[in-house]
Amino acid sequence: MNSENSIEVRDVTKQFKIFIDKGRTIKERALFRRRRQYEHRQVLRGVSFDVKKGEAVGLIGHNGCGKSTTLKLLTRILYPDTGSIEITGRVSSLIELGAGFHPDLSGKENIYINAAIFGLKREEIDRRLDDIIAFSELEDFIDNPVRTYSSGMYMRLAFSVAINVDANVLLIDEILAVGDANFQIKCFNKLQEIKGKGTTIVIVSHSLDQIEQICDRTIWIHEGLVRMEGASRDVHPAYLDYMEMKRRENAEKEAKRKAEKEGVKEAEKKKETIPASAYGMEEGKRWGNGRARIVEVRILDQENQERTIFRVEETIKIHLKYQVKSLVRDAVFGLGFFNAQGLRCYGTNTEIDDLPPFNLSEDGEMEVILPRVMLLSGVYTLDMTIEEGHGMPVDYFREVATIEITNSKRDLGVMRMDHQWILDYEKK
């Protein structure tokens, strides 16, 4: 095993027997032999990937693609049929929260039981107890039986234990939806802190946003194979694209099925509303269903002159022309600034900014005015998007423009923050 790696997965295959009707008693096994028919389902067909020490990796894929099975194999709940998995260090999994909680025992007693299930020793739990209780914010209730807790309190306690295990490798399955918004932010920050300490993290999630925020890299698992791996910013668009294609296929199938029922005429109508040539990418920088297209993007300064170099705090206007091929309902315009490292420095859209919903029915132009761009010096790329409904890309145009920001001052970071120094505070 390469010493730089924390996890090495090599050619792992796994198949399950899917029983039509599984018999588990002798009677069923003897009498209903036919009912016990099963089929093999090959869930993984030779998955290989590495995760480096201290790296955070996201596993994505559609339902049933094998990503959760992969995580279970990493956790050693399941074992591969062929191939090998090597992991160095202590593994902790946030797959099941509150495993082994007993309702009649107090919060504190349950902390001990739950932490022990994660493989912690007595002294280790003693040492972490205060941290766990503080993180859960349940100081006043910690000696009450867990059955008196609300479900939110229960999950908070469970998450606090799991997150304080101090593993070398942390495996997470869709669990960041714990508690209220404040607690979620807290969990998220804690994860960042854990990552900062050099813990290797593998996350399975449907939320690409979460993965983008935490992970350095994304692995897309498709039909039991690694279809693509790389920076989240490269993999996620390709994945979304695929999902969109899938959706369209299903929609067309559905339309066909309906057509067979309702006659050919209806089907013709349906087809017209989905332009056949809409799906396609330009140099891998553009995707969406193509009902509307961005045809021109111009970057202007305050005097409406085209420019690409700006100073910090200058006004930037983005002028956009679009064509509409068929009606876009509940359209959303969006923008995103990315720096050279691929970090999203700022992103927003008309929905986030609470603009009233609108439809796009004919070609038009629009403009975004950014009166004071606070980004510090560097080269930035701009993404412009048209989406419809709930985040369905119509035309997602990546790196549509590049701007450069120069800074006459020497302040550091990604963006300037408004501030003032008050040195004679006492006298005031």
Contact residues toward other proteins (CB under 8 A) are 16-17, 24-27, 29, 72, 75-79, 91, 93, 95-96, 99-100, 102, 104-105, 109, 112-113, 116-122, 125
CB of residue 407 to other proteins, shortest distance in Å: 50
Instruction: Between 106 and 407, name the residue whose CB sits nearer to other proteins.
Output: 106
298 beta partners: 319
Instruction: Between 95 and 373, name the residue whose CB sits nearer to other proteins.
Output: 95
Instruction: Between 73 and 215, name the residue whose CB sits nearer to other proteins.
Output: 73
CB of residue 127 to other proteins, shortest distance in Å: 13
Backbone angles phi, psi at 11, to 5 degrees: 45, 45
CB of residue 28 to other proteins, shortest distance in Å: 9
Strands 56-60 and 217-222: parallel
CB of residue 72 to other proteins, shortest distance in Å: 7
Quick count: other Cβ atoms within 10 Å of Cβ 398? Answer: 21
Instruction: Between 151 and 305, name the residue whose CB sits nearer to other proteins.
Output: 151
CB of residue 20 to other proteins, shortest distance in Å: 16
CB of residue 56 to other proteins, shortest distance in Å: 20
CB of residue 291 to other proteins, shortest distance in Å: 43
Helices (H), ranges, 199-231: 208-214
Gap between the Cα atoms of 146 and 42, Å rounded? 41
Instruction: Between 123 and 303, name the residue whose CB sits nearer to other proteins.
Output: 123
Gap between the Cα atoms of 235 and 405, Å rounded? 28
Instruction: Between 160 and 232, name the residue whose CB sits nearer to other proteins.
Output: 160
**Amino acid symbol at 129:** L
CB of residue 113 to other proteins, shortest distance in Å: 4
| Cα-based angle 400, 309, 283 (whole degrees, multiple of 5) | 20
Helices (H), ranges, 63-214: 67-75, 107-117, 122-136, 151-163, 181-196, 208-214
Instruction: Between 16 and 279, name the residue whose CB sits nearer to other proteins.
Output: 16
Asked if residue 150 lies in contact with residue 142, where contact means CB atoms within 8 angstroms, the answer is no
Q: At what angle do helices 151-163 and 122-136 cross, to 10 degrees?
A: 140
Instruction: Between 99 and 414, name the residue whose CB sits nearer to other proteins.
Output: 99
